[in-house]
Structures are given as structure tokens and as C-alpha cells.
Amino acid sequence: MARTKIKQRDFIYMSAVLRSRETRLLSGERISRMLDAAEYDDAAKQLVDCGYADMSGMNTYKIEDALNARREAAFAEIAGSGAGSRRIVDVFRLKYDYHNIKVLVKSMGANVDASRLLSRSGRVPADTVTEAFISGDRSSLPRPMATVMGAAVGVLSRTSNPQLADMAIDKAYFAELLALAREAGGDFMAGYARLLIDSANLRVYTRAARTGRDSGFLAEALLDGGCVPVAELAGLFPSSDGLPSVFAGTPLAAAAVSARGAAAGGGQTRFELECDNAAMRYFDGERYAAFGPTVVMTYLAELEWEISAARMILTGKLSGMAPDVIRERLRESFV
């Protein structure tokens, strides 16, 4: 059955709600207070005004549970506001579905119980994914998930190499991401998906060059669907000198410059940050839209980035990491 075309007016109410909530998202000022707090509990309490549970006194596992609960509540509320919003939320939920497949496949290979690592933020309940994996009856899963689950199990059984299984799962994830983004958010959301594919390819290329992998590995790992053709990237390998020219004029231009040093064995923090910052900048032009699907997309992206920053700061505080070390790992909108 054909999907109903997205209408801007369908997002008027939720856009107003989310615009009001953006004022409670983590600001640079609040981040500074968290980083400068003398005690972990003082840092954790800063997040209460952002809508999080009080995480003071929590250990790493409890922190993760609280952050996940924040995400899951937001996903559920926004998805419940209408079919258009639900489709956009599904784009953001998708990575957690494929994360769960990775966890289950790897746990099989290592013969361990990894249920603690399963996410509840996906489209498909984690229990449903687990049951499909254990029973072999995957009829309850969307077809792309069912197909790659079987394929990844086969790859791991044949090769005993979890990295190859991960690569198969990543290909399925990004292919479905691009298809789902086109349906849910049109050209704007599809552009974001293509940017994520380009970013993943740049990271794969850099790691492959850094670790001395061969061109066959790279060809298998690169993902189709980005703005930068896979063949163009493969033709450069193993040199990283041509990366800036290939990515010139794209949001990843600065990341490609940093990639040269990372590929040669230098520090990777700046490179990884530039990749993340490129994804954040993609939404800059939509931050002031009055209403519409891009308001929902932007808020969800901001929420994911906020949760990532909160995790980094709180776990860093727990481990005794220096504030400046945490700060240099935060994406640019949080410093």
C-alpha cells in the first residue's frame, strides 16, 4: 500500500512542542558547569532541568539505563503524534535494531549472554529480535532485518570472524536507512542518510589505511549510497593524500583533511570529531524553521547528540577523567 505523502501542516503541533523543548537541551553553559563540578553528583543534577532523571549516585550501568529511558520516552511521544512523525522516528530507531542483531550474532560467536547490551530503542522490541534469533523463525522481523540476521550468522559460522559479520550487518543497515529516510523525510532526510554513509566510508577508509589492510578488505567494507562514489574512494587506496580533493565541497571536507593524519598513525580524536560535527552542521539551516518534518528531524538529532554528550561527561566524571580531556572529545555545539 502506498504511503501517504507528508504534509507540512501535520507537524504544526509537534513542531511547537519540540521548539519549546529545545530551550531545555544541553547548552554550552550547562556543559561547562557539569565539567567544572567538583563531584559527580553535582554534574548529574545539572541534567534534571533538561528532563532527565536524577542520576546522582548511579554507576555506569544505571547511567546507561537512565539515558536510554530518556530516549525511549521521547521516541514514543513523538511517534505517537502522527504517522509522519512516526516514520521519522523510525529512521532514528533503525540503528538500534541493527545494533541488537550485532549483539546477538557476536554473543553467539563468543558463547556469552550479552542480553544486557540489547537496546530497547529500536522499532522492533528487543525480546522479539531475540526470539527470532534463537528460534530461527524470523517472520516477525522486517524483511531486511530477517535477511541480514541469517546472512550474518552464516558469515560468522563459516569464518569465525565477527568483523565480517559486522560488515554484512552495516551494509544492510545503511541500505535500509537510505530507503527509510527517502520515504520518511524526502530529499532532506535522504541527504542526511547519504552524509552518514559518506562518513562511515571515510572512517572505514582511514582505519583500513591506518592498520595496513588490503584493497580487497576495503572493497568489501565500503558502502553504496553516499554522495562520494565507492569506486572513487577505492581508486585512491591506500594513499590518504587524495581524500581532501574527493570530499572537497562536501560537509566532510574538514574531516577528510584530518583523515590524512589519522590514516598515517596520528591522533584520531580530531578526525572523529570532524565526522560528527559534519553531521551536526547538516541541520544548521533548519534550526529556525517554524514547523514541518525538519523540525522533528532536527530535534531528534539534537537529542541523540545530547545523550551522547551526557554519557561522555558522566562516565568521564565517574572514572576521574580531567575536564579538559572530556571537553576535547565533545562535539562542537557542546563546547
Reported as a single tens digit per residue, the pLDDT across 202-211 is: 999 999 999 9
**Of 107, 194, 90, residue with least CA distance to 142:** 90
CA dihedral 247, 251, 254, 255 (to 10 degrees): -80
User: What CA–CA distances, in Å, run from 237 to 253, 254, 256, 315?
Assistant: 18, 19, 14, 37
Give the 3-state secondary structure of 236-264: HCCCCCCHHHHCCCCCCHHHHHHHHHHHC
Give the residue carrying C-alpha cell 552524509: 195
Side chain identity at 317, as an amino acid letter? K
Please write the tens of the pLDDT for every residue from 9-41.
Answer: 667 888 888 888 888 888 888 999 999 998 999
pLDDT at 1 over 50: no
Asked if 172 contacts 147 with a C-beta cutoff of 8 angstroms, the reply is: yes
For residue 224, the SS3 value is coil
Cα 93 from Cα 153, distance rounded (Å) = 23
What is the band of 4 on the pLDDT scale with cuts at 50, 70, 90? low
Average pLDDT on 95-105 reads 97
Per-residue cell: 134: 534463537
Q: What is the pTM of this model?
A: 0.91
Residue 56, sorted as left (phi over 0), alpha (psi -120 to 50) or beta, turns out to be beta
Average pLDDT on 107-133 reads 93
